[in-house]
Chain A
C-alpha cells in the first residue's frame, strides 16, 4: 500500500487489518484472478481521492467511504473491471472522477452510490456508441444541486438515457417525472422557458426532438450493426421486422429489439418467442418509395449508406429502419413530420 494515502484511510485499514485480510482471502477464492497490485492501485488512485473529497464536506463519513471502497474494489478488480487487462480502460478514471465530483452527495450513502455508479458505468462503457464521459460530466455538473441520494439516482437515470441508452427512454422519462422541474428540465437538456409537462409531451410525440435544437429534415441518423467477424452482432445480413409497435432485427435465427431516438440506438436481445410473433412490414407509409441506393419521401430524395437493394424495412410516421441485401448494417432514417 502506498505511504501517501490519507491518514484516515491508513487508520481505518490499520484498525481492521485482520478483517480486511480475511475479506481479501475470501474474495481471492471467489475471484482467482484478483490481483493484489491492481487492488492496491485502485485503493490508492480511486478510493483515496474520493475519501479526501468526502472528508472536506463530511469528515465523519470517512470510515464508511473506506469500507465501501474496499469492498467494491475487491469485486471490481476481481472481475477485471479495473486494473491491468480491464474490459474498459476508461472505467477506472471515470469512476474516480465521478466519485470525487459527487463527493457531497456520495457522503449520504457511500456504499450504495459507489455500487450504483460502478454498475451504471459498466453498462455505459460496454454498450456500443454510448458516451460515459458525457454521463460523468453531467453528473458532476448536477452534483451541487442534488439534495439526496435518490435524486442522484434519478438524475443519473435520465442522463444515462441521454448518454446513448435509448432503450431506457420511456422509463427515464418516468424517472424525470419524479424530479422537481428545476432538475428534470436540465436533466433532459431543456431550459426553463417551457414547463416540464410540455417538454415531456414533445418527447413522447417525437423521438428526434432535442430541446433547443431546430427540427432537421430527412436524414440518415444512424448506421447500426456490423458483421460478427468484425466485432458486430450479425452473423448474416439482418432483416427488419415489426413486433407490436417496435422494431425487431433478425439474423440467422437470433433477434434483437432496435431502440432508436435522437440520443442513441441500442440493440437489445429478443427471445425466440418474440421473434416468432414478429412480422414483415409489406407496405411502406404513403409517400415513401425505395430505389437502389436511395429513397424518396414525399418528393424529397435521400441517399442511403448502401447501394444494394433494400431487403426489408420498418417504418412509422417518424422513423424508418431499413436493411440491405448485401450489408450487415442497418440505416436509421429520421422522417420529417
Chain B
C-alpha cells in the first residue's frame, strides 16, 4: 500500500457550508468525513458532483497551481475596500467565497466540455493547467503530454490529423482502400493545443473542422471525435504569434483566461517543490478524477440550473446595447454594426457621425461589434456552470457578472477611440479588457435600474400577453393590442434618441405588430 501523499490532501467537504440542498437532509455518511479526509476512496457514499468539482478546484489552488489571485469576487455583505497609490487603485476584500479565474474557468470548461484559451507570458503555468485538466479526466500525465499538440510553423495537416498508410497509398485501387493512421489525440476527451497561434493558416482550417464539427477528415476518411474539453495556449493573443489566428477559430473559443503574474511571496512553495521533487500533476488524488459518465451527468446537472427572468432581462438589456448603428443603414433592420462591417466602410469615419446621442453615455459606442448568438449561448452556459459550481440551483446576477468578461474577452471588440476611454481613469481599460467588460456590464445594469425596467417594462407586458397565445382572441382585442403597440412606438418617437436597447425593443414591437396584423387578417377571412 502506498502512502497517500500530503500533496494529495483534499479540502474537506462541504466546501461551501451553505450549499446543502435540503435543511433536514443530514447525512450520517458525513460522520466519516472530517479533518483526516478520506484515504483512497470515500467511505460508503460519493459526494455530489458539484462538491467533487469544488474539491478539485480547491486541490488545484491549494496544492497544484500557485495562483493566489481572487479576481472572481463574491460578496454576501458589503466588502471593505481600500484606495491605494497615486492612481487611486482600489483593493477589495471580498466577504464571500471568491475564486481564481485562472483555475475556475478552465475547470468549468472541463465540466461543460467547452473551449478555453490560456493567454499570458511564458512560464506562467498555462500548459501545466491544461495538463492538469487532462489528468482530471482520468488520463495519465504521460498520455496527456504525448497527446498535446504543439503549434509550430511547419505543422502540416498530416501532423495534426494523421497520415495515410504508405503501403496503402501504393497498392490502393480506390480511396476507400487507403487506411489512415489517425493521431491519438483526436480520441482524447481533453484536447490541448499548445501555442495555437504558431500553427500555419491552412492547418488552422483543418483544426477548425475538428473544433467546430467534431470530426477530422483526411482523403475522404472521417474520424468522429468524442465530445471533449479543449485547451489552447498562446503567449500573445493579439496577433503576435507566428501566424494570425483565423477569425472562425478564435470565435469558437468559448472563454479566455489570463495567467496572472507570479507573486514572489510564494517563492517558498516553489522551493518545496524543488527540494522535495514534487510534480503536482503526478499527484492528482483519485477522488477528484472524473469518469466520462460523471462528466456527462455534470453537464446535464449544469444545464438544469435555472436562469430566472430577472437575470435574463438584464442580460438581454446588456446584449441589446452593442449591435445598433444608426448610420449604417437606411432600413430599420439594417442599422447594425454588422452592416457597416460587411460594407467594408471605414469604421472610424462612420462611428463618429453625429446622431445626437451622448457618445459617452451610449454603451454601444464603446464596441465595434455586437454579440453573436454563439457568444450569448456560451455566456448562459458559463453562468449556469459557475452557479452549479457554487452549489446553487439558480443563476444570480453575480454569476453572470463574474463570467461575462472571460466569455466576451475576444467576442466584443472595444473601440479604443471611443470618448469613454479618454475619460480620466478609464485609459487603462483600453488594455484591461476584463476590467472594461465588467465596467460595461455594471454600467448596463445601472442603466437598467435607472429606467426601472424590472417594474416598468411595457414591451415585456405586451410580449407576455402575446406569449399567452392568439387562439380565441377576438378581432376587437387584436385591434386594441395593435393600437397599444402603435401608441407606444408613437410615444417613443416623440423626441427620444435611439439607443441600442430601444432599437431591439422597437424591432420586437414591429414583430408583434406583424404577428397581430396577420392574425387579424386571418380572422377577417374566416
Contact in complex: A75, B26 (CB < 8 Å): no
Q: Mark B1-42, 1 if CB is under 8 A from A, else 0.
A: 101111101000000011010011011111111111111110
Question: At the interface, yes or no: A264 with Cβ under 8 Å from chain B?
Answer: no
CB distance from A51 to the nearest CB of B (A): 14
- Partner among A74, A171, A246 whose Cβ is within 8 Å of the Cβ of B29: A171
Known: A29-B272, A116-B43. A23 touches B6 (CB 8 A): yes
Question: At the interface, yes or no: A5 with Cβ under 8 Å from chain B?
Answer: no
Contact in complex: A112, B43 (CB < 8 Å): yes
Bound complex: CA of A165 vs CA of B5, how far in Å?
32
Contact in complex: B35, A270 (CB < 8 Å): no
Bound complex: CA of A246 vs CA of B26, how far in Å?
12
How many A-B residue pairs have C-beta atoms within 8 angstroms? Tell me. Answer: 122
Question: At the interface, yes or no: B346 with Cβ under 8 Å from chain A?
Answer: no
The residue of chain B having its C-beta at the shortest distance from the C-beta of A150 within the complex is B44
Bound complex: CA of A22 vs CA of B3, how far in Å?
11
Contact in complex: A74, B24 (CB < 8 Å): no
Question: At the interface, yes or no: B452 with Cβ under 8 Å from chain A?
Answer: no
Question: At the interface, yes or no: A228 with Cβ under 8 Å from chain B?
Answer: no
Contact in complex: A115, B28 (CB < 8 Å): no
- Partner among B24, B32, B37, B43 whose Cβ is within 8 Å of the Cβ of A75: B37
Question: At the interface, yes or no: B177 with Cβ under 8 Å from chain A?
Answer: no
Choose, from A39-47, A65-73, A195-203, the stretch at the interface: A65-73
- Residues of chain B within 8 A (CB-CB) of A319 are none
- CB proximity to B under 8 Å, residues A46-90: 63-64, 67-68, 70-72, 74-76, 79, 81
- CB proximity to A under 8 Å, residues B273-318: 276, 278
Where chain A touches its partner, the secondary structure class is helix
User: Which of B20, B30, B31, B41 has the largest number of chain A CB atoms within 10 A?
Assistant: B31
- Residues of chain A within 8 A (CB-CB) of B32 are 115-116, 119-120, 153, 156
Known: A19-B3, A153-B43. A170 touches B31 (CB 8 A): no
CB distance from A316 to the nearest CB of B (A): 14
Bound complex: CA of A23 vs CA of B37, how far in Å?
17
Contact in complex: B272, A120 (CB < 8 Å): no
- Partner among B9, B24, B36, B76 whose Cβ is within 8 Å of the Cβ of A246: B24
Contact in complex: A115, B36 (CB < 8 Å): yes
Contact in complex: B31, A112 (CB < 8 Å): no
Contact in complex: A112, B276 (CB < 8 Å): no
Bound complex: CA of A115 vs CA of B448, how far in Å?
53
- Residues of chain A within 8 A (CB-CB) of B26 are 167-168, 170-171, 259, 268
- Residues of chain B within 8 A (CB-CB) of A19 are 3
Known: A171-B27, A246-B24. A123 touches B3 (CB 8 A): no
The residue of chain B having its C-beta at the shortest distance from the C-beta of A259 within the complex is B26
- Residues of chain B within 8 A (CB-CB) of A271 are 18, 20
Contact in complex: A269, B17 (CB < 8 Å): yes
- Residues of chain B within 8 A (CB-CB) of A120 are 31-32, 34
Listed in ascending order, the chain B residues whose CB lies under 8 Å from chain A are: 1, 3-7, 9, 17-18, 20, 23-24, 26-41, 43-44, 76, 272, 276, 278
16 A-B residue pairs with CB within 8 Å: A72-B36, A75-B35, A76-B36, A111-B39, A111-B40, A115-B32, A118-B36, A120-B34, A123-B34, A150-B44, A153-B44, A165-B31, A170-B26, A171-B28, A246-B24, A271-B20
Q: Which 4 A-B pairs have the closest CB atoms?
A: A119-B34, A171-B28, A168-B28, A116-B32
